[in-house]
Amino acid sequence: MQHFYRFLCAVSFVCLFATSGRADDPELKPLFNGKDLKNFQAKGADEFWRIENDVLVGENNAEKKGHYLWTEKAYQDFVLEFDVRWKAATDRGVDTGIEMRQPKLQLQLGVSGSLRVDMTGSFYTGGKPAYPEAGQAKEAKRLMHPEGEWNKFRIQAKGDTFTCWINGEKASQYTDPKFSGAAPLGFQIHGGVEMKCEYRNVRIAEL
């Protein structure tokens, strides 16, 4: 009987842990409120960004110019979560991403402009190589839902290490002490591309 009681206690503990999430999970708070561009540098953004049904929609203008929607606040160590979806209008594909830290480091979403290859979930340094092999999400295609469906991303920047999860699975991790400075986060629309991307449930926690 005593062994059975211990078994029930153990099962209860496991169930409680499973339903309450990881003990070290930070408290994520809305970065995008679904109504307006509060928390973002909105000047000049209305030509490229709009809000539809609680979704942040980014799209090129008629001249296919690009744009960054920057946060008002600079972040150093953080966890960022969001749902994103896109559908390419041409064979060039969608080219977007999230920029962070100083100097600039980006998590690529969609097709790389330089490689013309889908590098979703990989870290772009702007150097040589632009996409270091250690920071590439080589299983991204398997982790992603079909084009046009929502995918959940989680980015963690902690110290000199940057990690990306796609739909709950770790996709890539890159370590480089070069990218150490705090900076606003930037949601990108790449210039020269006919593209549209949509974000929802954008939440953040500072570490």
Find all residues with CB under 8 Å of 60, minimum gap 6, and list them: 48, 66, 189, 191, 193, 194, 195, 196
Residue 20, in any domain of the structure? no
Q: Supply the pLDDT for residue 24.
A: 66
pLDDT per residue over 38-85, tens digit each?
999 988 999 999 999 999 999 998 898 999 999 999 999 999 999 999
Distance CA 204, CA 207 (A): 10
Low-confidence ranges of the chain (pLDDT < 70): 1-24
Considering its fold, how many domains does the chain have in total? 1
Do residues 157 and 75 make contact, with C-beta atoms less than 8 angstroms apart? yes
Task: State how far the Cα of 145 lies from the Cα of 166, in Å rounded to an integer.
Answer: 10
Q: How far apart are CA 132 and CA 63, in angstroms?
A: 32
Contact present, 92 and 100 (Cβ < 8 Å): no
Please give the Cα distance from 167 to 153 (Å, whole number): 6
pLDDT at 88: 85
Say which CATH number the domain at 40 has. 2.60.120.560
Q: Is residue 5 part of a domain?
A: no
| Closest C-alpha to 162, from 133, 128, 135 | 135
Range of the domain at 195: 28-206
* Cα angle: 94, vertex 95, 100; to 5 degrees: 145
